[in-house]
Structure 1
């Protein structure tokens, strides 16, 4: 093993082969700090050629590789297991914006680029890179691609798969596939790009990507609406799509309990209404005509919604500061839940038309099985993705509650399956849901996935134990 590590040192330099346990610690512990794995070393290559060289060394010595970006994942996909046989391949040094093409509306960025930096590079070119999520200050483009990240603007712009035109990938045998083509049409065989996106590093290591950017909207308008039921939120969504079309870029659902948690733990963040409501929607328009045009659409939408008794109150942000304040209410929901104590997270999707029915049915199932548990239900209603999280009953110890996680997951995931949904909408499977998915995917799907894995990674060295 010393021979392997020495050759890694020869390849990328001693300071980029991390073996001290204290220095490795942050790379080995997951984002929620509930699991810490072990590794032979953390390797920090600085170029795609160095990544390829290190992967070839891992092949020669049969060393498993765990690719890692910002390590912000929630399903144990970017940390090693407890065996200590793998290396972590950190892509953080691959952090260059290689090119910006405002005419082709693309940015070519390396995998270690922080999402916020890519957003800023787009702004500097008077363009928009629309992927937006809570961890955008620390998550990386490579990790976003590996998990097919979604975020708050999927309704208008799609997931990361929709925002990527081309990839550069180091394959499992250490070759470099240069697929950085900024083409929107290319029907020349199998779409290899889509194989690697969402594969969580189990098929190869993404090192760079050509990403779509868009013209900056002339106006963004944020509004907050109060209603009684999730069914009314769905009615408002349909009405908003009818009134606003493609200018509707965000549509987020939050329960009153979510807002209670935010108010309890972040009292500086205040609801814009004098009285509470069972459900809230945060929506955003991005208009390429004018602020007045967007404002008129919103006024018309809310007038119709009030007339149809879909909602009973709404406010529209009149400044950037007010818009940020409204978004802060949504963004602080997971932070407030963490402050409240231990909880069980679910990242699920169901057909949009069935969301209200799903919430009602699953709430009832959980209360029947775990009386007093508290549902923290919020998420991207516009694309059917709910963060359907569960907190313990008041007075129940957090550790005792977490010990029941498998049973709670079974109730939620079985309900998701009954409603034709998915147990992972945007976080991936990692190690946390790898075995769980076998309950819901058909044997044929699993065989096809295994066939692809075997064909592209016959030695099973790419992020083993994850996804499949």
Structure 2
């Protein structure tokens, strides 16, 4: 499997005829078409510098009809299309290959919030709307949109849905697909599936929206979505606890769930090394606790009723964990700023690892009860394979998803370390398989894990995926080479 492509050494000749390029430009206006290599370059580089592509043209349509026109022309002229949102993906699904014959369609100009239905708790937004913009618009309307990611200031709704993003609120609200009522999608031949329903109950046959959520742009281009909103919590409480082991974190989680149920909207696990990386490299970050601890868990409660004293509830829960000798120290945020500071550390953990050199990534999930077993096996295995490496295991303990990343040994050769990516992946994924987990919990498949899919997917499921792809995209023009071989 090729998991890294080198940046292009120089400009390559276009794999598309000049008249084809001109036809695309005529559809949306030259001012919305990028052809200069310097302008195109940011769209062809994944933010971790792991995937690089070459592209002759970036199209930036301004509405669904323009996307439809682009796809109609692409279908007629057999031009491969790579849809792109905020370019925050982590598996290369948004990057072209190096043929210089694939055209990027950026959804960044489709950034209207078409409607906010307060009574119905529905927001209809276009694919290019930044996630944080949706969150703020909902809050201004006294509503809450729960999808929350470290990249929420730049990732876009279309990309979030195309990858079925998870994030830190899955515990209470589910993945991105659980927040969608309807979709508007442009199909590979240019037809528009207008499914922007806002109904909570609609039992009229196949629920086609779920074909496109998580398909990573291989079946069509999501241009708009009807999203579920929720009442804005009347109170939020955030605490950070210093603990000894992940097993202690699991016991604290079970205490929390039994005491507060669905009001527990966040439960994150972080290692000491992650805290050190954050304090060292993340602007404004500081360790909220006086002493260092081997592990930390972040707890968040969201209270929907003024009749419930959220702070008292959190304090009671923490006291029970203290009494059970599960917590060594803890801090409870006193205000919104302190809550944001604690979450800032957690959301910044992916970013700060770049400052520590090469990092071999894993986005895995196992049954929640198996997380301590996974860590007990995976961390020693990595240390034995690469002495001095620095495992950084963090993530959503409450839903079984860990980002199990391995930072290079201090002073090691970065490229030599990263050349062992597939070897370490295979070792870690074998442990995941033994625990009946998944090799991709929320980042998707893209190019990075495409060749691994046949080894972990049920053969009948994989066959059906190929059949669906052939049915909707018979020419294979939608994001070719991604997800399926």
- TM-score, normalised to structure 2, is 0.94
Q: Which residue of 1 aligns with 2:286?
A: 270
1:96 is aligned to 112
Matched residue, 1:133? 149
- State the match for 1:197 in structure 2: 213
User: Matches of 1:305 and 1:85 in 2, distance apart?
Assistant: 58
The 8 Å contact of residues 219 and 291 in structure 1, kept in 2 or not, is answered as: no
Confirm or deny that 1:211 pairs with 2:223. Answer: no
Distance 1:259 1:332 in 2: 10
Corresponding residue for residue 9 of structure 1 = 25
- The answer for the alignment partner of 2:243 in structure 1 is 227
Aligned residue for 2:360, secondary structure, equals: coil
The answer to whether structure 1 residue 74 and structure 2 residue 81 are counterparts is no
414-423 or 96-105, which deviates more: 414-423
Q: CA offset at residue 335 of structure 1?
A: 2.5
Distance in 2, matches of 1:42 and 1:405, equals 31
Question: 1:55-454 maps to which residues of 2 (within 5 A)?
Answer: 55-266=71-282, 269-290=285-306, 293-454=309-470
Cα distance in 2 between the residues matched to 1:435 and 1:347? 16
Give me the whole-angstrom Cα distance separating, in 2, the residues matched to 1:263 and 1:209: 38
- How far, CA to CA, are the matches of 1:44 and 1:108 in structure 2? 21
Query: CA shift at 1:21, angstroms?
Result: 1.2
State the Cα distance separating 1:312 from its structure 2 match: 2.0
Q: Secondary structure at the match of 2:450?
A: coil
**1:457 paired to 2:473:** yes
SS in 1 for 2:309: helix
Call closer, same or farther: CA 1:291–1:372 in 2, change over 3 Å. farther
**CA shift at 1:304, angstroms?**
1.2
What is the CA-CA distance between 1:424 and the residue it aligns to? 0.9
Give the distance between the partners of 1:154 and 1:114, measured in 2 at CA: 19
Which segment drifts farther, 353-362 or 314-323?
Answer: 314-323
> What is the distance in 2 between the residues matched to 1:290 and 1:21?
56
Count, aligned residues: 468
The answer to whether the 8 Å contact 2:85/2:158 transfers is yes
**Could you list the per-position Cα deviations for residues 343-393 of structure 1 after superposition, in whole angstroms to 9, with x for gaps in the alignment?**
111111111010000011111222222222110011011111101000122
* Structure 2: distance between partners of 1:151 and 1:268: 22
Shift of 1:222: 0.5
- Change in 2 beyond 3 A, CA 1:347/1:296: same
Cα offset, 1:266, TM superposition: 4.2
Alpha-carbon distance in structure 1 between the residues aligned to 2:410 and 2:472: 49
Report deviation, 1:285: 0.6
* Deviation digits for residues 310-362 of structure 1 (CA, Å, limit 9, x no counterpart): 22221111111211221122122222211111111111111101000001111
Answer yes or no: is the 8 Å Cα contact 1:221–1:291 preserved in 2.
Answer: no
Q: Aligned with 1:435: secondary structure?
A: helix
Q: Structure 2: any 5+ residue segments left out of the alignment? A: 1-16
C-alpha deviations, 1:404-441, integer Å up to 9, x for none?
Answer: 11111111111111111111111111111111222211
Q: In structure 2, how many angstroms separate the alpha carbons of the residues matched to 1:266 and 1:56?
A: 45
- SS state at 2:225 partner: strand
SS in 2 for 1:40: coil
Q: Distance in 1 between matches of 2:362 and 2:461?
A: 22
Instruction: Tell me, in whole angstroms, the C-alpha distance in 1 between the residues paired with 2:345 and 2:281.
Output: 11
* TM-align CA RMSD: 1.3
Whether the 8 Å contact between 2:356 and 2:408 is mirrored in structure 1 is no
User: How has the CA–CA distance of structure 1 residues 456 and 266 changed in structure 2, closer, same or farther, with 3 Å as cutoff?
Assistant: closer
Runs of 4+ deviating beyond 3 Å: none
